[in-house]
Amino acid sequence: MLIELTQDGSNTIFIPEWNERYHSKNGALQESIYVYIQNGLLHLQKSNIQILEIGFGTGLNVLLSLLYQKFDTQIIYTTLEPYPIPKSLYKQLNYTHLKNLHSLHQVFLTIHECKPAEWIGIRDNFQFIKHLIKVQDFETTQKYDLVYWDAFGPRVQPEMWSFELCKKIHHLLNPGGLIVTYCSQGQFKRNLKEAGFKVEVLPGPPFKREMTRASK
Ligand SMILES: C[S@@+](CC[C@H](N)C(=O)[O-])C[C@H]1O[C@@H](n2cnc3c(N)ncnc32)[C@H](O)[C@@H]1O
């Protein structure tokens, strides 16, 4: 796995064997803010928000959720990651050298180095837990308001966009709950509909035509 610089000056990770990146090469930061924060977190009208992230990866979505959290909201953030990246790699990521994210350097290390399956209070109004498992194996009675569906694309990981997973995520959401993702594959959107979601196709981040938001 290699660290790459994307168009907006933020890093991503490139997997040469798969020819797949953790984020868009046109701008990792820009894409994550647009898809997950602008069209997800900031779109929700709720003061107490249970977030589930599929694919912790670099931790960028956690940092951005902290950065954009409204002061009068409470976030309870659960992230899933079966293949955590090694320290040698995350230490090279430049996110906390970027404007606005400087103050989150210690948090960045904490979310990568914390014990799995243990709650930590990052702030009074931001609780965080990381499970080192696949979403397919994740069992809980908790219901979520917002899912950041940030798996690798259907070309390399078709099982992450399947009807079975759509059904599972639908079951994990509260009524009115949302999923947001960069992925806008036709089969995925059909799977979401069949699983009971109302699907919205939104304009994509720069250089990408579409993204998907769906609600229960
Ligand atoms: C496109 S990357 C994005 C990660 C992250 N959100 C970020 O911004 O860096 C996809 C992530 O999903 C993880 N992943 C792969 N299979 C998974 C599974 N079955 N369940 C949950 N996460 C998975 C990968 O290891 C990788 O970290």
Establish whether residue 80 lines the binding site of ligand 1, counting it when its CB lies within 6 angstroms of any ligand atom. yes
Asked if residues 34 and 205 have their Cβ atoms less than 8 Å apart, the reply is yes
Whether residue 161 lies inside any domain: the answer is: yes
- Its domain, for residue 152, covers 27-215
Q: What is the pTM of this model?
A: 0.98
Looking at every residue in the chain, the average pLDDT score rounds to 97
E strand map for 62-115: 74-80
Closest residue by Cα to atom 22, ligand 1, is 55
CATH number of the domain encompassing residue 164: 3.40.50.150
- pLDDT for 65 equals 98
Sign of CA dihedral 138, 142, 59, 151: positive
* Coil, strand or helix at 194: helix
Do the domain assignments include residue 73?
yes
Q: Is the CB of 147 under 6 A from ligand 1?
A: no
Q: Is 183 in the pocket of ligand 1 (CB under 6 A)?
A: no
Report the DSSP beta bridge partners of residue 210: 203
pLDDT tens sequence across 6-61: 999 999 999 999 999 999 999 999 999 999 999 999 999 999 999 999 999 999 99
Residue 119 domain-assigned? yes
Total of domains in the chain: 1
User: What pLDDT sits at residue 46?
Assistant: 95
Would 104 be classed as within a structural domain? Answer: yes
- Residue 100 resides in a domain: yes
Task: Report if residue 44 sits inside a domain.
Answer: yes
pLDDT, tens only, 189-213 = 999 999 999 999 999 998 899 999 9
Domain contains 169: yes
Residue 131 belongs to a domain: yes
Q: Which atom of ligand 1 is nearest to the CA of 23?
A: 1
What is the spatial distance between Cα 97 and Cα 103, in angstroms, rounded to a whole number?
Answer: 9
CA of 182 to the centre of ligand 1 (A): 13
Which ligand 1 atom sits closest to the C-alpha of 81?
Answer: 22
Ligand 1 atom with the shortest distance to the CA of 148: 6
Regarding the beta carbon of 81 and ligand 1, being less than 6 Å apart is answered yes
Spatial separation of the C-alpha atoms in residues 61 and 65, rounded to whole Å: 6
CA 163 to chain centre: 19
**For the segment 164-190, what is each residue's pLDDT rounded down to a tens digit?**
999 999 999 999 999 999 999 999 999
What is the reported pLDDT for 99? 83
Contact status, residue 107 vs residue 130, Cβ threshold 8 Å: no
Mean pLDDT of the region 99-123: 96
Mean local confidence (pLDDT), 85-97: 97
